[in-house]
Each structure stands twice: as C-alpha cells, then as structure tokens.
Structure 1
Amino acid sequence: MSDLPAPGVPAPGVPAPGVPAPGVPAPDVPALDRPAPDVLGHGYELTVLPMADDHEGPVVASLVRRRATGPARGAVLYVHGFTDYFFQTHLADHFVARGFDFYGLDLRKYGRSLLPHQTRGFVRSLTEYFPEIDEAVRVVRERDGHERVVLNAHSTGGLIAPLWADRVRGRGLVQALVLNSPFLDLNVPSPLRAAADLLGGPLSRLPARAVLPLTPATAYGASLHRTHHGEWDFDLEWKPIGGFPVHAAWLAAVRRAQRRLHGGLRVDVPVLVLCAERGLRLRAFAPEARGADVVLDPRQIARWSTSIGSHVTCVRVAGGMHDLVLSPAPVRERVLAEIDRWLGGHL
C-alpha cells in the first residue's frame, strides 16, 4: 500500500515526467495547453498544476485525464486518500464507457506530485488542498468545457471533498459528490480520540517531521497488491504496503477537519456516501481483510455522513474493502452499479 516501480513510474524521490526539480526551469512541463503522456499509458494525459510555495518550498499538483470516446455527458474528478495516488484505471474505464471524461487528481506531495524536497503526504491543514481542487475544477470546466462535474473522493479525499464543497456552495462548481469510505472519524477507541483532540494544539505545533511512534499496519496494503494477497499493481514507493509515517501535525489537521464536519456542513448538492458493511481492526494481513474495511469504521462513516448536507444517501456494501472499487470483482461491480443508479437519479 521493495518492489521495483511499475513500468514508466519514476524512481523514489524523482518527480513524474515533466515535473521540474525545485528551481530548475523546465519548458517541457505538461501545461494546460499541452498535456503530456501519463505513466498509465495510452489514453491518459498528464497536466501539472503549479501551486504557490508552502513551508517546504515549491508545490505542484497533477491532473490525469482520460477522455470519453464520444461527446462527453459530463466529467468525474477523482481525489485519492492518504498513502495513495490515482492508479485505478478500471474506475476510469467505467465512467468513460458511460460517456464521462475522467480526471484523477494527485494532490500535493503524493504520487506524481511528490517533489524530492517534500515530506510525503504532509500538510498542516487540509485546507491546503483547496487550491488544487479549485484549479482542477477550473480546468475541467473552463479548459475542457464541462458544465456537469461529479467530485468522486476516497478516504482522506472523502473528508477534504465535502469541506471544499461546503466552502464553494452556491457557485455551481460541482453537481454531485460521490464519497468512497470517507475519513469522517478516527478508527480508534474513544479515549484515544479524546486524547488526540486534547493534544491537537501541541501536536499541530510540533516540527513538520515529527512522526508518531505507530507500528506500521500492513493488513490493508497486503490485501491489495498482487505481490502479496491482492490483485492490483501499483507503485510501492507511491503507495507502500505499510503506509506513510503519520506526522503529529497532520493528525491534528485531520482532527480539526473532522470536528468541523461533525459540527455540520451545508453542502448544497446531492451526496452519495458508500462504505463497507463490516469493519475490522487488523494490523497484519488475514484473509478476512479481503471482505471488510480494515482502515476505518463503517459505523462511524454512516453516523457522520448526514453531517455533510441535507441531501445525503448512505449505502453499506456487503463484502466491501476500504477502497470499495478495489474490492473483489463481484463487490466492486455492485459498488459501480450503485453509483450508476444514484447518478442516474440525481445528475
């Protein structure tokens, strides 16, 4: 969640094709008017979105596009989770086959967007991601001319997306949210959640590289990758089996965002929240990991889903994994069919 990177994937610490090293001019950077081929191969185009510098220096985000074969009926913009990046080509296939242009956004400091000087996945506030979502939506709407945009987000992306949508409500920038196992609460015993909240201020003031002393959990990553117990091939530098280190200030930022959502958002578009039927707490792989969420607690997701807005549908999926579209084939087919039905009634 070490093998060699997948074909065409840059080595660790090396930016994706066309992404400049800090301070190095790069006239061939994939720009809005000249996307470059993406590491996913034929049909995928990469555009690098320059962002304002942060406390670590230069920042970029990466927008991957796959176009529908005919006139598009809309666009789907996908936002990944923690220790993640966009690689789910079967998800793009599904939407493209239904007439949507598909876009995968690698957030700053993840995947294609990771620059050598950066701390993987680190931000001090989840609002730091808003500029790349702003820009990605602008590109989808203004460059590519889409009037109907579905924001599809997973896990930590599924926490960021409703906060962003609440911020831009009333502007008509997206027409629906589809959230796949959103990170709406910490999957730890209540006393530990309370401790994390009490320490939120001190945690957020620790140095950026201060890492919590947590034992890496390999159950989820091992349940996914084809070299372990799964069926998927992804870059193990961009998505390691044991996950990224958890920085104290990052966790404090997540808890602030979760408390903000728990207090109630006013997202003004229809929202579909999907999560597994069953959750399990596993650190190391066991066969049960292939049929449950071993990262988050689906009961918490269901509980807090209605805090997103006034028009929310929550669906619990039997046999679902944390990333529902990476579940075994019969389950993910049900997930995609559920999304199709819901979009058919709401878009």
Structure 2
Amino acid sequence: MTAEWRPDVLGPPFAQRTLPLGTDADGGVVATLVRREPSVWATLVGPLRDVDVLYVHGWSDCFFQVELARFWCDLGARFHALDLRAYGRSLREGQIPGYVTDLSVYDEDIAAALTAIGHDPATDAPRRRRLVLLGHSTGGLTLTLWAARHPGFADALVLNSPWLELQTGPFARQALLPLIEARARWDPLGAHPEVDLGFYTRAQRETGALPGEAIPAAWRPERGFPTHPGWLRAVVRGHATVAAGIETGCPTLVLLSARSSSPLSWSEQALTSDSVLVVDEIARAATRVGSDVTLRRVDGALHDVFLSAEPARTEAYRSLREWLVDGAVRRRAPRGMLAPPH
C-alpha cells in the first residue's frame, strides 16, 4: 500500500493516492484520493485560483466525471475527488460494497482526504486557500452532515441532487423508521428487494455521459449495489438529522432537476428528469441545512445534473459558475485571510 501519487485509471492529467484507514473484519480499509491540477495560466489568473475542491460521489458510484474536474480547473481551482471506503478505487476483495452502519464513519475518510490536500480538520490554523465541498446524491447527504458537525470549516458546499430525504417523504419515513430500526438490529446484512432496474444507467448511456471502459463495471454496476438494512438505517437516520434542522455554517448551493420520473419503468422522460429521487422532497429538505442556501432547478437535468444532455448540462455549469464566481463564494475569504485574491 502506498501513499504516493500514481497514474489514475482516467489517464493524464489525473493521479490517485491511497489513503490507509486501518482494518475491519474484511481486512484493509482504504479511501482513494484523485486529483487534477489546473494549468499554470489558470493558477495565475483564474477567479478560483485560491480554491481547493473535494468531491464525494453517490451510492453505487465512484469518481469519473472528467468534464466536472476540468470545469473547476479552468477556473483555477485544484480539484480532488474521494472514492470512499469500499467504493470504486477503494473497493477491496471481500468487502461489502458501500456498506456502513453510520454515515459518520466517513468522517475518517474525509479527514484523511482533507489533510492530504492541506485542510486538516483537527487544527484551527489559518488557511491560505478556500475549501469547497462538492457532493452528489448520498455523497451530498454525507458531506452535509459532515459540514454540520464541522460548521464553518468549509467555505462553501455544493450539493448535486443530494439525497436529503427518503423518496417516500418525511411522514412515511417517520412511520417506517421503527421497522427499519428493528430490521437493522436483527438482520443488518439482510437482502432488500431490487429497486434499481437499470433505467438511470441507461439514461446516462443515452446522453453519452458514461466513461467507456476506463471505469470497471464492478465499480458502477448496471443496477447498483445490493442494499442492506444496516445501511438503510444509517441513511434514514441522516435524513432525520437533516429534517430536524442543521447548520453547515457556509453558503450552500443545491442543484436539482426540475422534475422526477418513475424508476420502475422506462420512458423518454428518464432522459430529462431525475429517475432516482423525488426532487420536490429534496427541495423542501434543502431548506433545513443552513441559513444561507441557494436552490437552482435545472430543466431537463438527470439525477446527476452534470451528466445531463444539452442544454441542461450547460445550464447546470452556468448556474454553478455564476454562484461561485459572482456570488457568495467569491466574496468569502478563507479562515485567517482578510479577503480572496482579485
């Protein structure tokens, strides 16, 4: 196991670094940090040349969004993505993909990644660079909860279709919670019915968003990883925490599709909507994550708004750039600095 940077499966200019996290019943546990550096010119003149970005993927996923990394680097930011333990580059033989019983377990993964890029959460020392956390779906929930446990540490939080609420909504979640808790206690690794029929993957493929052969199929299976009661309890407890109201202490941008479609049957609507989450429920839950929240609904967007077909993808990037460069992030100085560079 190495802590050195080495070539990544995405090829140049991407590199990866293994972050050892200890051991569990399945053996060695690691996270993997992927980086892309901006050009020399962008580091000199880019409006975000003092920004570090840490991206966290969603469920049954890993980092492969080359265009997303290029977007940040073109603005001068240093881009990093984290494949969490038992996901993607960090998945080891014998591990249950994506399985944890508490989302706070990922605090260790996030701390290791932040320390590696110069933002150690264990220190209050001033930083010369700003930090933006970027999370998609379950990764958005994970980073939101992390930010609330470390309020004000990040300078901004960007959430791409974050899974902030159960698809059935808050009332059904509350009714189901005792059943979820009971099942997780006596059968944490039990099987759930299959709910991912592969239609979201098909929509990504038809928009041309998938990365071809660079990412092994085992890292992003067509119908997603199997889910288990212990994992679902962790997620639903996270939803309950958000519903009770939290404070991330930083400006937050939430990007969502304008509409949802059914995940249970294929239709052309799957190409222009979120077929994973109920976006109206997410929009309502987003009002509970802090005092400075901006919500942008992107017409025609998929669940991952940055993998949408045109013109929705361009609109998603336009909204993000506008918020970053002209909005709250541009005006916010990192901890210990009087003002961002001009």
TM-score bucket of the superposed structures, by smaller chain: 0.7 to 0.9
- 1:117 equivalent to 2:87? Answer no
- 1:162 equivalent to 2:132? Answer no
Deviation at 1:57, TM superposition (A): 3.2
Q: Determine the C-alpha separation between the residues in 1 that align with 2:200 and 2:119.
A: 38
- 1:42 equivalent to 2:12? Answer yes
Query: Counterpart in 2 of 1:74?
Result: 51
Q: Determine the C-alpha separation between the residues in 2 that align with 1:176 and 1:231.
A: 26
Deviation at 1:104, TM superposition (A): 0.9
Structure number with higher helix proportion: 2
Question: Contact 2:251–2:292 at 8 Å: present in 1 too?
Answer: yes
Query: Counterpart in 1 of 2:296?
Result: 315
Cα deviation digits, residues 158-190 of structure 1 (max 9, x gap): 1011100011114x3x20000000001111377
CA distance 1:74–1:198, change in 2 (3 Å): same
One-letter amino acid of the counterpart of residue 153, structure 1: G
Q: Determine the C-alpha separation between the residues in 1 that align with 2:128 and 2:109.
A: 18
TM-score, normalising length: structure 2: 0.86
CA distance 1:329–1:259, change in 2 (3 Å): same
Moved over 6 A (4+): none
TM-score, normalising length: structure 1: 0.85
Cα deviation digits, residues 207-239 of structure 1 (max 9, x gap): 45311123442110111126xx74422432111
Query: How do residues 187-202 of structure 1 correspond to structure 2 at under 5 angstroms?
Result: 187-188=167-168, 193-202=173-182
Q: Determine the C-alpha separation between the residues in 1 that align with 2:82 and 2:223.
A: 23
Cα deviation digits, residues 45-77 of structure 1 (max 9, x gap): 111111132343321000000001123431111
Deviation at 1:280, TM superposition (A): 1.0
Query: How do residues 192-341 of structure 1 correspond to structure 2 at under 5 angstroms?
Result: 193-225=173-205, 230-233=208-211, 234-341=215-322
Report the 3-state secondary structure (helix = DSSP H, G, I; strand = E; otherwise coil) of the residue aligned with 1:264.
Answer: coil
Query: How do residues 53-92 of structure 1 correspond to structure 2 at under 5 angstroms?
Result: 53-70=23-40, 71=43, 72-92=49-69
One-letter amino acid of the counterpart of residue 166, structure 1: A
Deviation at 1:119, TM superposition (A): 0.2
Deviation at 1:139, TM superposition (A): 1.5
Question: Contact 2:209–2:308 at 8 Å: present in 1 too?
Answer: no
Report the 3-state secondary structure (helix = DSSP H, G, I; strand = E; otherwise coil) of the residue aligned with 1:342.
Answer: helix
Q: Determine the C-alpha separation between the residues in 1 that align with 2:128 and 2:243.
A: 32
Query: Counterpart in 1 of 2:78?
Result: 101
Q: Determine the C-alpha separation between the residues in 2 that align with 1:126 and 1:343.
A: 28
Question: Contact 1:206–1:249 at 8 Å: present in 2 too?
Answer: no
Q: Determine the C-alpha separation between the residues in 1 that align with 2:186 and 2:308.
A: 37
Q: Which of 154, 159, 168 matches 1:179?
A: 159
Flag structure 1 segments of 5+ consecutive residues without an equivalent.
1-25
Question: Contact 2:255–2:298 at 8 Å: present in 1 too?
Answer: yes
Cα deviation digits, residues 57-113 of structure 1 (max 9, x gap): 321000000001123431111100001000000000111111011111001110000
Q: Determine the C-alpha separation between the residues in 2 that align with 1:196 and 1:50.
A: 36
Structure 1 vs Structure 2 CA RMSD: 1.9
Query: Counterpart in 1 of 2:339?
Result: none
Report the 3-state secondary structure (helix = DSSP H, G, I; strand = E; otherwise coil) of the residue aligned with 1:199.
Answer: helix
Q: Which of 111, 120, 123 matches 1:134?
A: 111
Question: Contact 1:176–1:271 at 8 Å: present in 2 too?
Answer: yes
Q: Between 285-294 and 212-221, report the one with greater CA deviation.
A: 212-221
Query: Counterpart in 1 of 2:21?
Result: 51
Report the 3-state secondary structure (helix = DSSP H, G, I; strand = E; otherwise coil) of the residue aligned with 1:281.
Answer: coil
Query: Counterpart in 1 of 2:332?
Result: none
Deviation at 1:287, TM superposition (A): 1.6
Flag structure 2 segments of 5+ consecutive residues without an equivalent.
44-48, 121-126, 330-342
One-letter amino acid of the counterpart of residue 194, structure 2: L
Report the 3-state secondary structure (helix = DSSP H, G, I; strand = E; otherwise coil) of the residue aligned with 2:100.
Answer: coil
One-letter amino acid of the counterpart of residue 76, structure 2: G
Identity of aligned residues (%): 38
Q: Determine the C-alpha separation between the residues in 1 that align with 2:56 and 2:35.
A: 13
